[in-house]
């Protein structure tokens, strides 16, 4: 059983959760200066990002300038971060020929664009396929109330506690034998209020896809949210207690 779970986990880790090759701005030409700048950028991002888990940079001159941004999940070691970003770089280059694209993995994400995305803030949540494979819960209303309580608390922490670098994990007891684990994260180029707004929208999407499931993930350009019944992250997290229902 343990082997099966870890095999499943390894599979999940290796595949992208979701890819968007934007169809809004056209494609770059093969062999063009844009493509060369993009390749250079994707080679650079993993090494400049892995020690802090976040970076953004730009390479080249307008109109061939390419902006890029990379983020690793906050609990991921610098070597695992680098490995994930290298895979992501290769995959996005292979998979997309658009001038704007983003790819999410379980442990990291990379985006690039012809435009500076630091000044763009747009929420567009996506449900990875993984979500549909989660089992159902027997008491969805109470279950999702508990998830919401956890994610709201973590969202406040990630957005407004600067020491967290926009990443928070936590766990909450649901029943005698079930604990819900969760994390939230924003890209560090957004303001605290934008981070919170992004996570609020993601929580609404999470309810839409996954409120009756044992786990769920929402990814978007500037923030990600996830919960599940097992501890999928690699950080110590503290137990959050749900307020006494009679006191509500
Ligand atoms: C991004 O990378 C550059 C070049 O290595 C480095 O000087 C900068 O401090 C990094 N930024 C962050 C936020 O880590
Ligand atoms: C998880 O933490 C352990 C101990 O700190 C570390 O050796 C390992 O590389 C980490 N795994 C990931 C995926 O970061
Ligand atoms: C992108 O926009 C941000 C915010 O407006 C700015 O601070 C940053 O310098 C810009 N980056 C580049 C490479 O132009
Ligand atoms: C917890 O216990 C309930 C009822 O005893 C059972 O249906 C459920 O599968 C258990 N959950 C886990 C995660 O073991
Ligand atoms: C060119 C290419 O491989 N495109 C694929 C990129 O990934 C998305 C999402 O997995 C697919 O829908 C595309 O067909």
Q: How far apart are CA 207 and CA 53, in angstroms?
A: 28
Express each pLDDT in 129-181 by its tens digit.
777 788 888 888 899 999 999 999 999 999 999 999 999 999 999 999 999 99
Residues lining ligand 5, Cβ inside 6 A: 19, 21, 95
CB atoms within 10 A of CB 92: 24
Q: What digits encode the pLDDT tens for the residues 9-33? A: 444 447 899 999 999 999 999 999 9
Query: Which residue blocks in the chain are alpha helix, DSSP H?
Result: 2-14, 33-49, 78-95, 140-160, 192-210
**Residue 96 — pLDDT band, cuts 50, 70, 90?**
very high
| Residue from 215, 200, 198, 201 nearest 143 by CA | 215
27 burial level (CB within 10 Å; 0-12, 13-18, 19+): middle
CA 114 to ligand 4 center in whole angstroms? 50
Ligand 2 touching residue 76 (CB < 6 A): yes
Q: How confident is the model at residue 245 (pLDDT cuts 50, 70, 90)?
A: low
Cα 95 to ligand 4 centroid, rounded to whole Å: 41
Per the listing, tokens 């082997």 go with: 3
Atom 10 of ligand 2: nearest residue by CA position: 77
The token pair at 58 is 């730009």
Q: Is the pLDDT of residue 78 over 80?
A: yes
The response to whether residue 34 sits with its C-beta less than 6 Å from ligand 1 reads no
Distance of CA 237 to the CA centre of its chain: 18
Best mutation site among 10, 74, 80, 81 for ligand 2, i.e. most ligand atoms within 8 A of its Cβ? 80
* Cβ–ligand 3 contact at 62 (below 6 Å): no
Instruction: Give backbone dihedrals phi and psi of 53, rounded to 5 degrees, phi first.
Output: 80, 0
Q: Is 52 within 8 Å of 132 (Cβ atoms)?
A: no
* Global pTM value: 0.89
Among the listed residues 202, 199, 218, the one whose alpha carbon sits nearest the alpha carbon of residue 156: 199
> Which protein residues touch ligand 4 with a CB less than 6 Å away?
177-178, 229
Domains of the chain in start order, with CATH, are: 2-119 (3.30.430.20), 140-242 (3.30.430.20)
User: What's the rounded Cα separation, in Å, for the pair 227 and 42?
Assistant: 30
Q: Is the CB of 69 under 6 A from ligand 1?
A: no
> In what helix (H) or strand (E) does residue 167 lie, and over which residues does it extend?
strand 167-175
58 pocket-lining for ligand 3 (C-beta < 6 Å): yes
- By alpha-carbon position, which residue is closest to atom 14 of ligand 4? 177
Q: How far apart are CA 109 and CA 72, in angstroms?
A: 6
Q: Is the CB of 119 under 6 A from ligand 3?
A: yes
Buried (b) or exposed (e) across 124-149, using 16+ Cβ within 10 A?
Answer: ebbbbebbeebeebeeeeebbbbbbb
Q: Ligand 2: which atom is nearest the Cα of residue 107?
A: 13
**Average pLDDT rounded to a whole number, residues 86-104:** 97
Q: Using alpha carbons only, give the angle 162, 168, 173 rounded to the nearest 5 degrees.
A: 140
The CA distance from 243 to 170, in Å, is 15
| CA–centroid distance, residue 183 to ligand 3 (Å) | 28
């Amino acid at each position: 059983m343990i082997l099966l779970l870890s095999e499943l986990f390894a599979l999940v880790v290796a595949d992208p959760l979701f890819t968007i090759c934007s169809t809004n701005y056209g494609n770059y030409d093969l062999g063009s200066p844009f493509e060369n700048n993009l390749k250079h950028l994707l080679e650079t991002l993993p090494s400049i990002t892995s020690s802090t888990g976040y970076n953004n940079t730009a390479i080249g001159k307008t109109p061939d300038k390419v902006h890029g941004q990379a983020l690793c999940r906050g609990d991921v070691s610098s070597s695992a971060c680098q490995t994930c970003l290298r895979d992501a770089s290769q995959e996005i280059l292979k998979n997309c020929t658009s001038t704007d694209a983003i790819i999410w993995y379980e442990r990291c994400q990379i985006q690039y664009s012809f435009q500076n995305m630091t000044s763009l803030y747009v929420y567009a949540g996506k449900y990875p396929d993984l979500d549909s494979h989660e089992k159902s819960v027997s008491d969805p209303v109470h279950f999702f109330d508990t998830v919401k309580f956890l994610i709201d608390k973590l969202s406040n922490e990630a957005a407004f506690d600067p020491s967290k670098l926009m990443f928070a994990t936590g766990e909450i007891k649901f029943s005698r034998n079930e604990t819900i684990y969760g994390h939230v994260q924003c890209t560090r180029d957004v303001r605290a209020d934008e981070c919170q707004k992004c996570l609020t929208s993601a929580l609404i999407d999470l309810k839409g896809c996954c409120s009756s499931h044992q786990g769920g993930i929402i990814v978007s350009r500037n923030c990600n949210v996830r919960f599940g019944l097992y501890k999928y992250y690699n950080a110590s997290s503290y137990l959050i207690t749900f307020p006494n229902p009679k006191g509500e």
